[in-house]
């Protein structure tokens, strides 16, 4: 057996599948796998019969050091390779490393970081990593010929110095009786690495293949060790580790790197912790720090800036008070630099520090729909109900994007992110939003946040997503913070309620009311309303209306929240076939930046993308064509026929696996793939209605059961009237 792969496993059930798959697909086969379970259940390895896997078990949840040591006891290979259960490796990695291997030596490879699973990483990792600004860091080679420099300096921070991605001759470990120091929970890699480097006869860099280190996109439920919030212990461990293992570095030239790492640890971590530490704790840190810095050489001085040098000098004398003071001054300076650097930062600062300290206005309500893009959706209907039922009782403010909304009842309007916006965001008591509020929103005591959300979920949301590719990788953490501020969340149906609970990790009040935005679909005067809306849009009253309302596509974009749209319906053909009886109204999703030019289809096709409220468009539509948009859950309230134009279904297969429902089974209408099929379906729309009647009923029972036209009333009673 040439390689023993040691995997420390803490129950990362999803991640380890990628890890094992990357082993199963190795081009080089002579290796064994030792999975050390951290008091958790063994993973299911049945999908990998080609792997020789042995299990080892730590009695109780222990440290990575403990688990790796258990693995070392069992290892029989000539070489050792440590792999974390949440990481994976290139398929040629072992082959390349083995061919570079030397007796009693070490082969080390490059490490690349990723936020994504194997599939996503290898398919479009380059692009996504670039988007997340990771490409540069990943390519750290320096010009260094010195393996010591490479291995210590490539990591960001002391805690990230790692023994991962190395093929280590087991002879080094056994002859020198090396083990991971179990004293350390967070810093056991560096000592082991330093000892290995000190004892290795030779070190070889194997550049071609990568160890892929997966960053955790869910620090709330599954934090990586670096994400664990345990700063005090980390600070003490870091200091102890440096004190105990500094002597292992033998050459002066190498010493500089380890010293540099520790000096940075002082600047970026210890000093910040000291700023907030209680006096007793400070003294304790002072002692520890003095001891550690006593071991620091002077060679590092040239590498440090003035600020760092000063902190080191204070630390050497145990003057933690001075470090804390200096750090506070520095933090203040940096803060001011950011604040005065841009207007938007300044506004946020004033919002937090001044406006949020002003008296709250008890009857003021801020409304926002689709980030201020329009006057629509559930906030609109809640606003109207409030004003009709309790005229003059509430001071209402609507957020817009700079374009005035057409508001009844004389509500105020503010431009999103303007000074006035921050003023009202700070002082209002109530908030009615259909999307997420800004990250820096301050939830004031006594304020009430009503989140209506904007659709029954079809595509997986937040905490139910594995890979987050269309937003910031730390989306889950961000949403977690935002949803903590929500006091009420509207559920359109039981199905959504259950999903919202886990997808948002939401345990606040759930309003089982149906959607206020759908109240209009139940109005008794809807016939008359339909005529009025048709007139408003200059659509002949005698024409039937087909509404085409597709969603956006994650992978087709120009930039943040600016997505592309290509019309795949052949409007010429549709006009030829359907123009006598129908008109088509076309509405793109609010993320779509492309403006469609339908001028040549005057009298047949209308662009209603800018129309505020899609619910009013549902009312005038005889048939809906959509795809993977949540619009069909709402339209179903009208019991009118629906067609699903899923021309890119194949591409969506991947996404389909990320759907909450079995679309092929549950959709209350046919899936169609080209214009001819759509035309044919419309010609036979009555047959389709009959054919799908059963599915349609079942669909409504599941998704529309709570809708009765009184959602706004119920929501207002619960949130504003305390009933």
Residues of this chain that interact with ligand C2G (CB under 6 A) are 377, 454-455, 457, 549-551, 587-589, 614, 629-631
Report, in Å, the least distance between residue 660 CB and ligand C2G.
Answer: 9
Nearer to ligand C2G, 282 or 589 (CB): 589
φ/ψ region of 24 (left if φ > 0, alpha if ψ in -120 to 50, else beta) reads alpha
Alpha-carbon distances of 167 from 227, 651, 680, rounded to whole Å: 27, 39, 63
Element (H, E) at 365: strand 361-368
* Alpha-carbon torsion, ordered 503, 506, 510, 515, to 10 deg: -40
Report, in Å, the least distance between residue 636 CB and ligand C2G.
Answer: 12
Nearer to ligand C2G, 110 or 378 (CB): 378
Q: How far apart are CA 318 and CA 324, in angstroms?
A: 12
Report, in Å, the least distance between residue 551 CB and ligand C2G.
Answer: 3
Non-local (6+) Cβ contacts of 357 within 8 A are none
Report, in Å, the least distance between residue 377 CB and ligand C2G.
Answer: 6
Nearer to ligand C2G, 171 or 607 (CB): 607
Nearer to ligand C2G, 63 or 483 (CB): 483
Report, in Å, the least distance between residue 454 CB and ligand C2G.
Answer: 5
User: CB atoms < 10 A from the CB of 597, how many?
Assistant: 8
Nearer to ligand C2G, 158 or 520 (CB): 520
Nearer to ligand C2G, 79 or 632 (CB): 632
Q: Beta strands 605-607 and 557-559: pairing type?
A: unpaired
User: CB atoms < 10 A from the CB of 23, how many?
Assistant: 22
Nearer to ligand C2G, 630 or 712 (CB): 630
Report, in Å, the least distance between residue 630 CB and ligand C2G.
Answer: 3
Long-range contacts of 385-389 (CB under 8 A, 24+ apart): 385/516, 385/712, 385/713, 385/716, 386/716, 386/720, 387/411, 389/713, 389/716
Report, in Å, the least distance between residue 591 CB and ligand C2G.
Answer: 7
Nearer to ligand C2G, 578 or 624 (CB): 624
Report, in Å, the least distance between residue 587 CB and ligand C2G.
Answer: 5
Report, in Å, the least distance between residue 435 CB and ligand C2G.
Answer: 8
Q: How far apart are CA 100 and CA 103, in angstroms?
A: 10
Alpha-carbon distances of 690 from 449, 676, 685, 697, rounded to whole Å: 44, 21, 9, 11
Report, in Å, the least distance between residue 496 CB and ligand C2G.
Answer: 7
Total residue length of the chain: 723
Residues 587 and 608 sit within 8 Å (Cβ to Cβ): yes
Report, in Å, the least distance between residue 588 CB and ligand C2G.
Answer: 5
Which runs of E-coded beta strand occur in 186-271?
202-214
Report, in Å, the least distance between residue 379 CB and ligand C2G.
Answer: 12
Nearer to ligand C2G, 273 or 552 (CB): 552
Nearer to ligand C2G, 67 or 491 (CB): 491
Residue whose C-alpha is closest to residue 79's, from 62, 99, 51, 59:
99
Alpha carbon 46 to its chain centroid, in Å, reads 30
547: exposed, middle or buried (C-beta count within 10 Å: 0-12, 13-18, 19+)? Answer: buried
Which residue shows structure tokens 């030239």?
A: 253
Nearer to ligand C2G, 377 or 519 (CB): 377
Report, in Å, the least distance between residue 653 CB and ligand C2G.
Answer: 18
Instruction: Report the sign of the C-alpha dihedral through residues 631, 634, 638, 639, in that order.
Output: positive
Nearer to ligand C2G, 197 or 631 (CB): 631
Helix axes 306-316, 252-265, angle to 10 degrees: 90
In sequence order, what DSSP letters do the residues of 267-290 get, joined into one string? IIIIHHHHHH--HHHHHHHHHHHH
Nearer to ligand C2G, 4 or 629 (CB): 629
Non-local (6+) Cβ contacts of 691 within 8 A are none
Nearer to ligand C2G, 550 or 670 (CB): 550
Non-local (6+) Cβ contacts of 278 within 8 A are none
Q: To the nearest 5 percent, what fractions of the chain are helix, strand and coil?
A: 45, 15, 35
Report, in Å, the least distance between residue 688 CB and ligand C2G.
Answer: 22
Q: How far apart are CA 168 and CA 173, in angstroms?
A: 8
């Amino acid at each position: 057996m040439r390689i023993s792969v040691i995997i420390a496993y803490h129950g990362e059930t999803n991640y380890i599948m990628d890890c094992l798959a990357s082993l199963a697909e190795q081009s080089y086969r002579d290796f064994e796998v030792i999975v050390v379970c951290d008091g958790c259940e063994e993973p299911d390895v049945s999908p990998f019969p080609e792997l020789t896997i042995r299990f080892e078990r730590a009695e109780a949840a222990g440290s990575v050091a403990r688990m790796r040591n258990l693995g070392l006891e069992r290892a029989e290979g000539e070489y050792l390779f440590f792999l974390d259960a949440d990481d994976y490796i290139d398929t040629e990695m072992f082959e390349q490393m083995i061919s570079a291997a030397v007796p009693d030596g070490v082969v080390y490879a490059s490490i690349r970081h990723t936020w994504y699973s194997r599939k996503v990483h290898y398919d479009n990792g380059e692009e996504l990593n670039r988007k997340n600004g990771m490409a540069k860091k990943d390519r750290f080679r320096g010009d260094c010929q010195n393996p010591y420099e490479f291995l210590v300096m490539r990591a960001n921070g002391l805690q990230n110095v790692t023994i991962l991605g190395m093929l280590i001759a087991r002879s080094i470990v056994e002859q020198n009786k090396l083990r991971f120091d179990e004293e350390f929970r967070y810093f056991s890699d560096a000592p082991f690495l330093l000892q290995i480097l000190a004892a290795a006869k030779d070190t070889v860099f194997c550049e071609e293949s990568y160890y892929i280190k997966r960053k955790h996109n869910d620090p709330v439920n599954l934090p990586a060790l670096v994400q664990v919030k345990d700063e005090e212990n980390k600070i003490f461990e870091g200091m102890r580790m440096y004190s105990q293992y500094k002597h292992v570095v033998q050459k002066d030239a190498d010493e500089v790197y380890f010293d540099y790492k520790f000096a940075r640890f002082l600047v970026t971590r210890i000093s910040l912790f000291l700023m907030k530490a209680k006096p007793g704790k400070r003294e304790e840190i002072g002692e520890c720090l003095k001891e550690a810095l006593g071991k620091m050489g002077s060679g590092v001085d040239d590498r440090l800036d003035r600020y760092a040098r000063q902190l080191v000098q204070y630390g050497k004398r145990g003057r933690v008070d001075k470090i804390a003071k200096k750090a506070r001054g520095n933090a203040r300076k940096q803060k001011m630099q950011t604040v005065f650097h841009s207007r938007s930062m300044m506004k946020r600062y004033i919002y937090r520090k001044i406006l949020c300290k002003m008296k709250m206005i008890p009857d003021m309500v801020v409304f926002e729909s689709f980030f201020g893009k329009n006057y629509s959706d559930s906030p609109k209907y809640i606003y109207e109900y409030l004003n009709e039922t309790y005229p003059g009782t509430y001071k209402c403010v609507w957020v817009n994007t700079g374009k005035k909304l057409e508001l009844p009842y004389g509500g105020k309007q503010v431009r999103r992110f303007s000074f006035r916006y921050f003023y009202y965001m700070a002082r209002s008591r109530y908030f009615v939003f259909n999307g997420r509020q800004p990250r820096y929103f301050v939830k004031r005591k006594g304020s009430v946040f009503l989140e209506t959300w904007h659709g029954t979920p079809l595509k997986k949301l937040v905490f139910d997503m594995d890979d987050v590719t269309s937003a910031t990788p730390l989306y889950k953490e961000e949403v977690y913070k935002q949803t903590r501020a929500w006091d009420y969340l509207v559920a359109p149906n039981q199905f959504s309620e259950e999903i919202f609970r886990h997808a948002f990790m939401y345990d606040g009040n759930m309003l089982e009311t149906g959607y206020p935005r759908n109240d209009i679909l139940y109005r008794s005067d809807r016939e008359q309303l339909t005529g009025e809306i048709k007139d408003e849009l200059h659509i002949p009253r005698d024409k039937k209306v087909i509404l085409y309302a597709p969603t956006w596509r994650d992978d087709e974009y120009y930039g943040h929240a600016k997505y592309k749209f290509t019309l795949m319906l052949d409007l010429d053909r549709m006009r030829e076939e359907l123009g006598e009886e129908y008109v088509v109204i076309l509405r793109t999703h609010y993320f779509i930046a492309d403006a469609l030019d339908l001028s040549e289809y005057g009298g047949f096709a209308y662009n209603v993308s800018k129309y505020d409220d899609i619910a009013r468009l549902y009312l005038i539509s005889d048939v809906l064509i959509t795809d993977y948009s949540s619009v069909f859950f709402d339209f179903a309230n009208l019991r009118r026929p629906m067609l699903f134009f899923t021309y890119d279904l194949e591409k969506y297969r991947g996404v389909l696996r990320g759907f909450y429902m079995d679309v092929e089974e549950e959709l209350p209408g046919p899936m169609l793939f080209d214009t001819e099929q759509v035309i044919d379906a419309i010609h036979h729309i009555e047959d389709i209605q009959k054919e799908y009647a059963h599915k349609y009923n079942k669909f409504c029972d599941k998704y529309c059961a709570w809708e009765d036209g009184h959602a706004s009333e119920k929501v207002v009673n619960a949130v504003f009237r305390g009933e």
